[in-house]
Structure 1
Amino acid sequence: LKDTSKQMALAEQDHNNPWLNISRKYHVHIESLQYTNKCSEMQLKPNSELSIQEARSQAVQFSRTVNGNCPFVGSVKEFDIPTSNTEGGIPITVYMPECSPAVPAILVYFHGGGLLIGSRETNERSLHDISAKTGTIIVNVGYRLLPCPEDVLAPFNDAVNVTDWVMKNKEAIGGSSESAVGVGGDNAGGHIACSVTEDIEGLNFQILIYPTVVNLSSHFESYDEFLDIPVFNTTDLKWQLHLTNLHVSAENNNSRTDILARENLESSPSTLMIAAQLDPLRDAILLYAHKLDNAGVKVQTEIIDGVPHGFFSFPGIFR
């Protein structure tokens, strides 16, 4: 993110700024204001006011509008990963950059959206950028969303199946037998990545971008701070958690669906934790990073100042 004190001041002094109250305590980045202005211009509605299908359509349309089309320099391949749980397999898109080294790292990535919305498309440009700039092969996973009556744990089962397949087929997607493999994701995708590290051994790293490491009964100070901010706020978070809870029956509530219930954190791989400063999830994320550290896991935590939850998905705004 590009930042200057002048840009900060502009955002704070504008009395039409929907971030004005928050800017009395925090420096709100000018790109956060541009983000909310774009949401207003496109007349986006809070997800809590939409049906799941409407929320899905809105997310795709917004992503297409703000991120545009940025060609990827490298190869893009589609695969369907066969499983006993799905007819036709789990679709994945593999990005292999031109700058890829002889032994590239491989990142299996799960998009966000509360397990309910989002798609491979909504994070595509961000993943293109990371792949091109780091030489990493990225596997963008099209896991099944909730509700999924035939498999209430569909996102988690699909994630494990794809990650297991990648671990066994590194060379088939352009990697080497010696390639390090990690998992990552934003929001609910970060939650999924956390759960995968409990089920699969031998992963080398995880990248968690404002992961949903809370449950419906959680409460943190950042919930109160960001109760009604103009984008993803505590109301939106609780809507997301409530709907997810409806579609996962009580007997399936375990450490996969509730990351806070996980006890064997010492088996987690080295972790890069990224939090947005203006996010109701912020305090929970910092607590989870602390728990990983206490369990002996190598953790690097980065708080991105002045931005809200969701910034990673919109490189067309947050540069």
Structure 2
Amino acid sequence: MATALTDPEVRQFVEKSEDFFPQDGSNLSIDQQRTLYDRLCAAFGAPLPDRLTVHDLTLADRPARHYQPDVVRTTAHLLFFHGGGFVVGGIKSHDSICAELAVAASMNVFALDYRLAPEHRHPAAFEDALGAYLSLRQENPVIVAGDSAGGNLAAAVALAARDCELPATGQLLIYPTLGGEALAASNREEAAAPLLTSQDMQFYQKVRSDEPPPYDDKFFAPLAETDYGGLPRAVLFAAEIDPLRDEAVLYAERLQDAGVPTKLHRETQLVHGYLRARGMSWRAADSFKRMVEALRWLSEESPL
């Protein structure tokens, strides 16, 4: 049964979001989706915090952005992959999010502009993400993180990094898509959820890959992995009203079963994309604070 959205602040966030990107947005052309998504993200953007230096660079031949706070309390770097269904978004779409994480967690944050589908199908985005990770990992421990599609890339990089014996320090996965649509009850229960539907997800998975989507490829669908041992500790955030909710739950359970220290936050009354709501919803703001606490735990600076 679908969960009723009753929180007035979250409902206001959904309504404002749909003013910029309609509920059936996946039916638009790719160019239209990118234009509307950029406008949506700009509408929820916030001024960058003080005590921060920002500069652009390249990581593994891809554009990236470095957020360096005045106070850095850990040698670990955060490598953040943006959401957007592997089709929309970029550095600008998550600019203020990455900046706020850098200052609040007192750590260096790097955001990657990976190649997008359909111009660049899988494994292009994964290869960009892994290349950026390996570049940073040469000098510093690295925590991988991302929201939605970015959460998928973070989990895939964590798997690949373990396999090549250059393990990540941690993984922060925010309402990730992990390739478990057939397993996740929420894919049916929340099929018509606001801001992301199950139909939207089917569209993005098809655009991302040559049909049929390779759900047996763990770097496309991390839930296809059969051995989760040796992965870095993880913190996952699942939005209650989201078809992807139970993919995060399943992944957390598999990590825990493999002995990986894992924390799962099930965020009541929140919807997919709620990071953008942190300035207008106390629930989203509270969840963002827990993400900062998670980064401190993942970098081994304080208990969670």
CA contact (8 A) 2:78 2:107 kept: yes
Structure whose CA Rg is larger? 1
Q: Which residue, 212, 223, 231 being the options, matches 1:268?
A: 231
Partner Cα separation in structure 2 for residue 133 and residue 68 of structure 1 = 15
State the shift of 1:225 in Å. 1.9
* TM-score (structure 2 length as normaliser): 0.83
Residue of structure 2 equivalent to 1:300? 263
| Greater than 4 Å deviation, 4+ residue runs | 247-250
Bigger shift: 34-43 or 227-236? 34-43
Q: Structure 1: any 5+ residue segments left out of the alignment?
A: 1-20, 83-88, 171-179
Residue of structure 1 equivalent to 2:300? none
Residue of structure 2 equivalent to 1:221? 185
Residue of structure 1 equivalent to 2:170? 205
Partner Cα separation in structure 2 for residue 248 and residue 90 of structure 1 = 28
Amino acid at match of 2:63: P
CA contact (8 A) 1:31 1:317 kept: yes
CA contact (8 A) 1:122 1:313 kept: no
Q: Structure 2: any 5+ residue segments left out of the alignment?
A: 286-304
Indicate the SS of the match to 1:267. coil
RMSD of equivalent CA atoms:
2.2
The equivalences for 1:144-183 within 5 A come to: 144-149=115-120, 152-170=122-140, 180-183=141-144
Indicate the SS of the match to 1:265. coil
Indicate the SS of the match to 1:246. coil
* TM-score (structure 1 length as normaliser): 0.80
Amino acid at match of 2:220: T
Partner Cα separation in structure 1 for residue 170 and residue 221 of structure 2 = 21
State the shift of 1:38 in Å. 0.6
Residue of structure 2 equivalent to 1:93? 65
Partner Cα separation in structure 1 for residue 279 and residue 106 of structure 2 = 21
Indicate the SS of the match to 1:241. helix
Indicate the SS of the match to 1:266. coil
Residue of structure 1 equivalent to 2:205? 241
The equivalences for 1:1-319 within 5 A come to: 22-23=3-4, 28-42=6-20, 44-82=22-60, 89-101=61-73, 103-149=74-120, 152-170=122-140, 180-200=141-161, 201-215=166-180, 218-246=182-210, 254-318=217-281, 319=285
Partner Cα separation in structure 1 for residue 14 and residue 131 of structure 2 = 37
Partner Cα separation in structure 1 for residue 21 and residue 154 of structure 2 = 32
Indicate the SS of the match to 1:283. helix
State the shift of 1:256 in Å. 0.6
Partner Cα separation in structure 2 for residue 236 and residue 249 of structure 1 = 15
Alignment identity in percent?
Answer: 25
